[in-house]
Structure 1
């Protein structure tokens, strides 16, 4: 099929995606946190939102839309500030309410599946580092002179989603098993709240210092 890269290129891509997927980031921190805080379905919903974000990024790359963001200082800055502000808000909310890892009995209003899904999507779409990653990573495996370049980029983006599902769905399922233990240890959950806030705060700072190009 014309949209499938040659085997050596495909194997190199798969190896790269596996390493990237296993590297912790804002997405992984969030949906695993939701699995622990609420249940496995909440974690999967957040993960589903992140996957939709990956699909959007793949489409942006395939049709050249991400290039506009990277090329435009004003648009890039707007996305960067929005992403950092959103992660910063999640960090603040975790300290104030313990909303992400709060699994004690007083939590009577768990987030809806749509809320978890939407937050996973927002964290993914509002991170300019992901935009830059897809702009620089996917094109390495497709020649600009290839007449089927757009189709191959879409294929690689879809493959990224499938690999992420194979690796991360089991991790989310296992994360949910810690919920019962953490309910019996409220001090631990509060420590995790601060850890979560620290991680997301660090990601927010890193996003602010992300450069174009």
Structure 2
């Protein structure tokens, strides 16, 4: 079992990462605003199933890679650090778009398609695999038991965190979009706060030592 203090820090990191804008969040917001909360929830179900699929695949992968390749941890740590810095840049890059500004003229999809696109948006997004493969090893130690079990444990926490945050976003997307349209200064505050936290996580990951 992973110690509770490590799990709490991972929970915080997962929370920060899930509120960083990405394909999943953009898709859920666009569907929630254009088709309503029900469409957003169906899309969210697809995204969550995609996470569960990714977790199982990555758990098997981590177990094999960390045992088979001596320098795998360093490679994965480097990828994770670069990925976090990339997310930080994406948050504050010039002319970055407010994710709550969506095209309200996009097509209306049926429930089956909403679920399928949500699932595929997650599964086919290479950034998800990079996140799992590079971030999970920072919290996994052989002395805590099976690497596969630890990966699943972290995956369940990350999925629950992602579901909880995105569930709130789906229910409040229209109101939040209206708030940001009236208070554009908060968009800049949110972006710089997010970038600062991501840089902190990147530095911590870069300085972490192999288990």
Query: Is the TM value for this pair above 0.5?
Result: yes
TM-score by length of 2: 0.60
Which residue is 2:162 aligned to?
164
Is the Cα–Cα contact under 8 Å of residues 38 and 110 in structure 1 kept in the other structure? yes
Conserved 8 A contact 2:62-2:147: no
Aligned pairs for 1:35-184 within 5 A: 35-64=32-61, 101-102=103-104, 110-144=108-142, 146-176=144-174
Q: Deviations over 1:13-61 (max 9, x none)?
A: 0010010011000110001100111011111111221111111111112
What SS does the corresponding residue of 2:2 show, helix, strand or coil?
A: coil
Q: Are the equivalent residues in 2 in contact too, given 1:40–1:173 (CA < 8 A)?
A: yes
Q: 1:171 to 1:137 in 2, by over 3 A?
A: same
Contact between 2:63 and 2:147, CA under 8 Å: does it hold in 1? no
Which runs of no fewer than 5 residues in structure 1 stay unpaired? 72-99, 182-213
State the superposition RMSD in angstroms.
2.7
**In the comparison of the two structures, how many residue pairs are matched?**
143
Match in the other structure for 2:19: 22
* Matches for 1:4-15 after TM superposition, within 5 Å: 4-15=1-12
State TM-score, norm by structure 1.
0.59
For the 8 Å contact 2:2–2:150, the answer to whether it is kept is yes
Unpaired segments ≥5 residues, structure 2: 70-101, 179-211
